[in-house]
Homo-oligomer: A and B are copies of this chain.
């Protein structure tokens, strides 16, 4: 059966995006994202717990990430879990999990405004008119090549 594999994150980048431009116009950006939760333990002390996520962004979104995101940027991310498996030098099976980003939104527009030609409005990675079933307006569907600013 068809299933669902969805990840929703809101956090800050621990480093600038690492971007590789591949052959055939393909681009991939790797991001490190921290999501921090705070809670009180049973003694009433505040505890902070941070999880680090490896994000992978492709093509049009990667170009946007390269241009507008940097260390510290706060983003909302939608994606899916994707594992890579391989054998290491000792012949052990290894597995690494990444979040394949389907879209992201810059939440903290202060970052977008500093030292760049970025817009005052932050960016929302948009769903395409194809899968939004968007009957409103017939948006063109080439957002991948069509930076939103």
Contact = CB atoms under 8 A, between A and B. Distances in A.
A108 interface: yes
A23 interface: no
A3 B137 contact: no
A96 to B, nearest CB: 8
Interface residues of A, number: 80
Interface in A40-83: 40-42, 46-49, 51-53, 56-62, 74, 76, 78, 80-83
Tell me the number of copies of this protein. 4
Contacts of A57: 133
A37 B131 contact: no
A38 interface: yes
